[in-house]
A and B are shown apart, each in its own frame.
Chain A
Amino acid sequence: MSYLRPNFRHPDLKTNEIGYTKADYEGGLSTLCAGCGHDSIGASILQACFELSIEPHRVAKLSGIGCSSKTPAYFLGASHGFNSVHGRMPSVATGANLANRDLIYLGVSGDGDTASIGMGQFAHVVRRNLNMVYVVMNNGCYGLTKGQDSATADKGSASKKGAPNPYEGIDLCEMAIQLGAGFVARSFSGDKQQLTPLIKAAMSHQGFALIDVVSPCVTFNNNAASTKSYDFVREHSEATGTFDFVPMKDEIITQYNAGDTEEVTLHDGSVVHLHKMSKELKLNDRSSAMHEIERYKSKGQILTGLLYLDPLTPDTHELLGTTDKALNSLTETQLCPGNAALQSINESFR
Chain B
Amino acid sequence: MRRIEAVNDLVIKFANINGTGSASANNMFAKAVFRLGVPVCAKNIFPSNIQGLPTWYEVRVNEKGYLGRRGGVDLMVATNGQTMKDDYHEVLSGGYFFYDSSKPLPPGFKRDDIHCIGIPLTQITIQEYSDPRQRQLFKNIIYVGALAYLLDMEFEVFKDGVKAQFKGKEKLITPNIHALELGYQYAQQHYPDVCGLSIQRRDLNEDKILIDGNSATGLGALYAGATVAGWYPITPSTSVVEAFEKYCKRMRIDPADGRKNYAILQAEDELAAMGMVIGANWNGARAFTATSGPGVSLMSEFLGLAYFAEIPAVLVDVQRAGPSTGMPTRTQQSDVLAAAYASHGDTRHVLLIPSDPKECFDLTADAFDLAESLQTPVIILSDLDLGMNDTISDSLEWDDGRQYKRGKVLSAEELDNMTARWGRYKDVDNDGVGYRTYPGTHPTKGSFFTRGSSHDEYAAYTESSEAYVRSMERLDKKWETAKTMVPAPIANQSKNQSKVGVLFYGTSTHATLEAIDQMKQQGAIVDGLQLRAFPFNKDVEAFIDSHEQVFVVEQNRDAQMKTLLINELQTQPQKLLSILNYDGMPITADFITECMQQALTQLKVTPLHSDTAKRRG
Q: Mark B426-448, 1 if CB is under 8 A from A, else 0.
A: 00000000000111111110011
B440 pairs with A337, CB closer than 8 A: no
Interface-forming stretch among A72-80, A151-159, A270-278?
A72-80
Chain A neighbourhood of B35, CB < 8 A: 350
Chain B neighbourhood of A57, CB < 8 A: 439-444, 447
Closest to A87 in B: B271
A91 pairs with B259, CB closer than 8 A: no
Q: Say yes or no for B461: interface residue by CB 8 A criterion.
A: yes
Known contacts: A91-B279, A350-B35. The answer to whether A96 contacts B439 by CB under 8 A is: yes
B271 pairs with A88, CB closer than 8 A: yes
Q: Say yes or no for A342: interface residue by CB 8 A criterion.
A: yes
B265 pairs with A320, CB closer than 8 A: yes
Q: Closest Cβ of chain B: how far from A22's Cβ, in Å?
A: 16
B461 pairs with A73, CB closer than 8 A: yes
Closest to A20 in B: B443
Q: Say yes or no for A92: interface residue by CB 8 A criterion.
A: yes
Known contacts: A84-B305, A339-B397. The answer to whether A98 contacts B259 by CB under 8 A is: no
Chain A neighbourhood of B222, CB < 8 A: 337
Chain A neighbourhood of B400, CB < 8 A: 338-339
B227 pairs with A99, CB closer than 8 A: yes
* C-alpha gap A332/B439 in the complex (Å): 20
Q: Say yes or no for A103: interface residue by CB 8 A criterion.
A: yes
* C-alpha gap A78/B34 in the complex (Å): 60
B302 pairs with A85, CB closer than 8 A: yes
With beta carbons under 8 angstroms apart, the residue of B209, B247, B261, B285 that contacts A346 is: B209
Max chain B Cβ within 10 angstroms of own Cβ: one of A77, A92, A103, A334 = A92
Chain B neighbourhood of A85, CB < 8 A: 301-302, 305, 452
Q: Say yes or no for B451: interface residue by CB 8 A criterion.
A: yes
Q: Mark A37-59, 1 if CB is under 8 A from B, else 0.
A: 00000000000000000011110
B268 pairs with A121, CB closer than 8 A: yes
Q: Mark A314-350, 1 if CB is under 8 A from B, else 0.
A: 0011001111100110101011111101110110011
A322 pairs with B282, CB closer than 8 A: no
Q: Say yes or no for A219: interface residue by CB 8 A criterion.
A: no
B439 pairs with A120, CB closer than 8 A: no
Q: Say yes or no for B404: interface residue by CB 8 A criterion.
A: yes
Q: Say yes or no for A95: interface residue by CB 8 A criterion.
A: yes
B449 pairs with A94, CB closer than 8 A: no
With beta carbons under 8 angstroms apart, the residue of B34, B210, B257, B281 that contacts A324 is: B257
B443 pairs with A92, CB closer than 8 A: no
Chain A neighbourhood of B404, CB < 8 A: 332
A349 pairs with B263, CB closer than 8 A: no
With beta carbons under 8 angstroms apart, the residue of A81, A95, A123 that contacts B280 is: A95
Q: Mark B237-267, 1 if CB is under 8 A from A, else 0.
A: 0000000000100011010010111111101
Chain B neighbourhood of A78, CB < 8 A: 443-444, 447
Known contacts: A83-B450, A95-B276, A95-B282. The answer to whether A335 contacts B247 by CB under 8 A is: no
* C-alpha gap A132/B222 in the complex (Å): 28
Known contacts: A327-B285, A350-B34. The answer to whether A120 contacts B269 by CB under 8 A is: yes
Q: Say yes or no for B403: interface residue by CB 8 A criterion.
A: yes
Q: Say yes or no for A296: interface residue by CB 8 A criterion.
A: no
A121 pairs with B397, CB closer than 8 A: no
With beta carbons under 8 angstroms apart, the residue of A103, A321, A327, A335 that contacts B440 is: A103
B278 pairs with A336, CB closer than 8 A: no
* C-alpha gap A120/B35 in the complex (Å): 50
A81 pairs with B450, CB closer than 8 A: yes
Q: Say yes or no for A93: interface residue by CB 8 A criterion.
A: yes
Q: Say yes or no for A102: interface residue by CB 8 A criterion.
A: yes
A79 pairs with B439, CB closer than 8 A: yes
Closest to B267 in A: A91
Q: Say yes or no for B284: interface residue by CB 8 A criterion.
A: yes
Q: Closest Cβ of chain A: how far from B547's Cβ, in Å?
A: 38
Known contacts: A83-B451, A338-B398, A350-B210. The answer to whether A96 contacts B260 by CB under 8 A is: no
Chain B neighbourhood of A120, CB < 8 A: 268-269, 272
Closest to B450 in A: A82
Chain B neighbourhood of A336, CB < 8 A: 223-225, 398
A95 pairs with B219, CB closer than 8 A: no
A345 pairs with B219, CB closer than 8 A: yes
Q: Say yes or no for B211: interface residue by CB 8 A criterion.
A: yes
B259 pairs with A99, CB closer than 8 A: no
A121 pairs with B261, CB closer than 8 A: no
CB under 8 Å from chain B, chain A span 155-175: none
* C-alpha gap A327/B276 in the complex (Å): 14
Q: Say yes or no for A178: interface residue by CB 8 A criterion.
A: no
Q: Closest Cβ of chain A: how far from B33's Cβ, in Å?
A: 13
* C-alpha gap A332/B365 in the complex (Å): 13
B450 pairs with A94, CB closer than 8 A: no
With beta carbons under 8 angstroms apart, the residue of B208, B283, B301, B452 that contacts A96 is: B283
With beta carbons under 8 angstroms apart, the residue of A62, A79, A98, A339 that contacts B263 is: A98
With beta carbons under 8 angstroms apart, the residue of B208, B275, B396, B440 that contacts A88 is: B275
* C-alpha gap A56/B447 in the complex (Å): 10
B280 pairs with A99, CB closer than 8 A: yes
* C-alpha gap A131/B293 in the complex (Å): 32
Q: Closest Cβ of chain B: how far from A136's Cβ, in Å?
A: 18
Closest to B442 in A: A57
A322 pairs with B262, CB closer than 8 A: yes
A100 pairs with B398, CB closer than 8 A: no
* C-alpha gap A94/B461 in the complex (Å): 25
A320 pairs with B282, CB closer than 8 A: no
Q: Say yes or no for B501: interface residue by CB 8 A criterion.
A: no
B278 pairs with A95, CB closer than 8 A: yes
Q: Say yes or no for A135: interface residue by CB 8 A criterion.
A: no
Chain A neighbourhood of B219, CB < 8 A: 342, 345
Known contacts: A81-B449, A88-B272, A335-B252. The answer to whether A342 contacts B265 by CB under 8 A is: no
Chain B neighbourhood of A322, CB < 8 A: 259-263
* C-alpha gap A102/B284 in the complex (Å): 13
Q: Say yes or no for A291: interface residue by CB 8 A criterion.
A: no
A327 pairs with B275, CB closer than 8 A: no
Q: Say yes or no for B287: interface residue by CB 8 A criterion.
A: yes
B228 pairs with A327, CB closer than 8 A: yes
* C-alpha gap A81/B224 in the complex (Å): 27
Q: Say yes or no for B112: interface residue by CB 8 A criterion.
A: no
Q: Say yes or no for B277: interface residue by CB 8 A criterion.
A: yes
Q: Mark B317-347, 1 if CB is under 8 A from A, else 0.
A: 0000000000000000000000000000000
CB under 8 Å from chain B, chain A span 102-156: 102-103, 120-121, 123-124, 128
Q: Say yes or no for B145: interface residue by CB 8 A criterion.
A: no
Known contacts: A91-B271, A95-B278, A99-B228. The answer to whether A330 contacts B263 by CB under 8 A is: no
With beta carbons under 8 angstroms apart, the residue of A96, A335, A337 that contacts B227 is: A335
Chain A neighbourhood of B268, CB < 8 A: 120-121, 123-124
Closest to A343 in B: B395
A80 pairs with B448, CB closer than 8 A: yes
B209 pairs with A350, CB closer than 8 A: yes
Q: Say yes or no for A60: interface residue by CB 8 A criterion.
A: yes
With beta carbons under 8 angstroms apart, the residue of B254, B272, B274, B305 that contacts A124 is: B272
Q: Closest Cβ of chain B: how far from A231's Cβ, in Å?
A: 33
With beta carbons under 8 angstroms apart, the residue of B230, B252, B254, B302 that contacts A94 is: B230
Which of A's residues lie within 8 Å of B, judged by CB?
Answer: 28, 55-58, 60, 62, 72-73, 77-85, 88, 90-100, 102-103, 120-121, 123-124, 128, 316-317, 320-324, 327-328, 330, 332, 334-339, 341-343, 345-346, 349-350
Report 25 cross-chain contacts, Cβ distance below 8 Å, ordered by A residue: A55-B443, A62-B279, A78-B447, A80-B448, A81-B450, A82-B282, A91-B276, A92-B282, A94-B275, A95-B230, A96-B439, A99-B227, A99-B282, A102-B440, A120-B269, A123-B268, A124-B267, A320-B265, A322-B262, A335-B227, A342-B396, A343-B395, A345-B247, A349-B209, A350-B205
What 4 A-B pairs are tightest by C-beta distance, nearest first?
A95-B279, A91-B275, A99-B285, A80-B439
Question: A82-B279, A91-B267, A124-B272 provided; 13 other pairs, C-beta below 8 A?
Answer: A57-B444, A94-B272, A95-B278, A103-B439, A121-B272, A124-B268, A330-B225, A339-B400, A342-B397, A342-B398, A349-B209, A349-B215, A350-B35
